[in-house]
Amino acid sequence: MLDAKRLLDQFLGQQPAAGAGDAGTPAQGSGGGGGLSVGGLIGDTGSFAKGAAAGGILGLLLGGKKPKKLAKTALTYGGAAVVGGLAYRAWQNWQTQKAGGGGAAPAQAPAPQPRQPIAMGSEPMLPPPGDSAFLPDNEADQQALSRALVRAMIAAAKADGHVTPEEQSRIFEHLNSLSLERDDQAFVLEELGKPLDIEAVAAEAKTPEQAAEIYAASLLAIDPSGPAERGYLGLLAARMKLDPALVEHLHASIAEAEAQAAV
């Protein structure tokens, strides 16, 4: 069975520990069981060193382009917490900016529960609130959101047209060497083989918060300096009706996190 949380971790740098695919032995960061708290995502990172060094599956999809330097952070806390944290930081900054503009007070994201900050250089990144649109506690919702984020990353990686059939064959060979679960690998290959469908990616967002996360995940898988990539991100933001100011904060959040991770 597809484990989208595990796959999202692997996209951002983790690789499963020995026996991680066995029943009752979830990989670190996959939040096995119920809630996906950051505390439960912190563990022994040694078993994932190889995956972090390789930059995760996302590095394969970028066709030689450098992935965002967040593998070490994702390795420690899990992909869902990192993407959610990046979107949550941008969301909070956007809300603060709106509130300071003198307009009507915007709807606030849920107040964060006490949790351990995600350390990213000199300034820690707050994890998203538990049991919220950014990081749901329900297992089915966790899986659905993680699946949407993986799909968004794959679609974004295809936006510049470099993932050709030949490139897919190369990626397939590398995926075989990563010891992915069969269903996880089949999901990646199926998504790679689909025509690029920005409407389908945007439709995965069930809430404005999830739209911010999907955009953040897409940005992690793309070089926004290229014209094709800029066009894709612009269309995606428009389809999901993201406020331009929030989009700016999402770019800033990820740029800051990448800079801190490089320290």
Tens-place pLDDT, residues 157-172: 888 777 777 777 777 7
Domain boundaries, the chain: 4-31+38-100+129-261
pLDDT at 174 (0 to 100):
74
Q: Is the separation of the CB atoms in 5 and 144 below 8 Å?
A: no
pLDDT band at 38 (very low <50, low <70, confident <90, very high): very low
Q: Is the separation of the CB atoms in 254 and 86 below 8 Å?
A: yes
Q: For the chain, how many helices (H) and strands (E)?
A: 13, 0
Tokens of 172: 């397939």
Which residue matches tokens 């009507």?
A: 104
Q: Is the pLDDT of residue 136 over 80?
A: yes
Most trustworthy range by pLDDT among 27-31, 54-58, 109-113, 210-214: 210-214
Distance CA 62, CA 67 (A): 7
Which residue matches tokens 């894709």?
A: 232
Mean pLDDT check: name the lowest of 109-113, 178-182, 218-222. Answer: 109-113
Distance CA 184, CA 20 (A): 13
Q: Is the pLDDT of residue 258 over 90?
A: no
Question: pLDDT for 179-207, tens place per residue?
Answer: 778 898 899 889 988 899 999 999 999 99
Predicted structure pTM score: 0.75
pLDDT at 215 (0 to 100):
97
Arithmetic mean of pLDDT, 53-60? 59
pLDDT band at 141 (very low <50, low <70, confident <90, very high): very high
Reduce the DSSP state of residue 187 to 3 states and report it.
helix
b/e code 138-169 from CB counts within 10 Å (16+ = b): eeebbbbbbbbbbbbbbbbbbbbeebeeebee
Reduce the DSSP state of residue 137 to 3 states and report it.
coil
pLDDT at 3 (0 to 100):
92
